[in-house]
């Protein structure tokens, strides 16, 4: 059984069809990249997987571990192991980042039948993960994403992923807005989370990220469909030739 199975997925926003029949299968342990020009529907796919409101599923199915993902509320999906690293993480003043993360982790642990961590255990665990992402105590103490630079927000997303240990991680343009040093830190963090039990979907515009996180499969999304799939060499080809051949295609 595939970990994630998307079949003939059609999605509309405000009566405009954005995804026009996506088929995609991820097995446990795999890392797939979805590449494509702006406006091709990459972020729509990530939001639909996470369960954001405002997206009408007009046809198709998504099964996660054999279950109907679309029937689950966003929080239920997260507790079952789906994680979206946001392209634009929202700032939430007044909610301490650590309080938020502890609430989330304990909700997940409860679902998995594990006991809640106490404050000391939690702090120790988070600090260890944060260190790898070069996130200091000062940053951990702040309100959720408030006053974070673009790079800090992305690192914080990867920290959450490391702490919440998802089964399926969707990373939406996690490389955008990062300089090369920050990109390496984030990529190292992501690579450390690669495991035989976990699948990842990397959504990116640029090939650059894939130099550091090498995918098993690469898919090109254009005009709401997967136009081409291949191995990691497809990313290099796209880098060389650009998205030109996919842009002309009629919608």
Nearest Cα to 218, choosing from 234, 204, 203, 205?
Answer: 234
Q: Can you tell me which of 84, 133, 190, 209 binds other proteins, judged by CB under 8 A?
A: 84
Among 161, 243, 164, which residue's Cα sits nearest to residue 202?
161
Print the binding letters for residues 116-145 with other proteins: x by CB under 8 A, - otherwise.
---------------------------x--
Site string for other proteins, 89-108 (x = CB under 8 A): xx-xxxx---xxx-xx--xx
Candidates 199, 198, 150, 197; CA nearest to 177 is 150
Question: Binding to other proteins (CB under 8 A): which residues in 143-182?
Answer: 143, 160, 164
Which token pair is 156? 């914080």
Per DSSP, 207 falls in state S
Q: Which two tokens stand for residue 14?
A: 């405000």
Give me 193's structure tokens.
Answer: 């989370």
Minimum distance from CB of 226 to other proteins (Å)? 24
In this complex, which beta carbon is closest to other proteins, that of residue 125 or of residue 212?
A: 125
Helix (H) and strand (E) counts for the chain? 10, 12
**How far apart are the C-alpha atoms of 55 and 52, rounded to whole Å?**
7
Name the minimum Å distance from CB 246 to other proteins.
30
Q: Determine if 236 is a binding residue for other proteins (CB under 8 A).
A: no
Site residues, other proteins (CB under 8 A): 50-53, 73-75, 77-79, 83-84, 86, 89-90, 92-95, 99-101, 103-104, 107-108, 111, 143, 160, 164
């Amino acid at each position: 059984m595939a970990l994630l199975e998307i079949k003939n997925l059609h999605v509309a926003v405000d009566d405009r069809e954005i995804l026009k029949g996506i088929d995609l299968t991820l097995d446990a342990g795999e890392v797939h990249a979805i590449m494509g020009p702006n406006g091709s529907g990459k972020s729509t796919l990530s939001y639909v997987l996470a369960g954001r409101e405002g997206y009408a599923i007009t046809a198709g199915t998504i099964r996660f571990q054999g279950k109907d993902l679309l029937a689950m509320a966003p929080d239920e999906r997260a507790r079952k192991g789906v994680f979206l690293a946001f392209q634009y993480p929202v700032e939430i003043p007044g909610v301490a980042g650590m309080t938020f993360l502890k609430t989330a982790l304990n909700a997940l642990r409860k679902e998995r039948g594990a006991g809640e961590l106490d404050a000391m255990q939690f702090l120790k665990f988070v600090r260890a993960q944060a260190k790898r992402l070069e996130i200091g105590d000062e940053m951990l103490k702040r309100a959720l994403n408030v006053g974070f630079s673009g790079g800090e927000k992305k690192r914080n997303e990867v920290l959450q992923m490391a702490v919440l240990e998802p089964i399926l991680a969707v990373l939406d343009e996690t490389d955008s807005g990062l300089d090369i040093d920050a990109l390496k830190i984030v990529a190292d963090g992501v690579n450390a989370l690669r495991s035989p039990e976990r699948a990842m979907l990397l959504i990116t515009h640029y090939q650059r990220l894939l130099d550091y996180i090498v995918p098993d499969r690469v898919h090109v999304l254009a005009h709401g469909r997967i136009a081409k799939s291949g191995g990691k060499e497809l990313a290099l080809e796209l880098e060389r030739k650009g998205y030109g051949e996919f842009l002309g295609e009629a919608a």
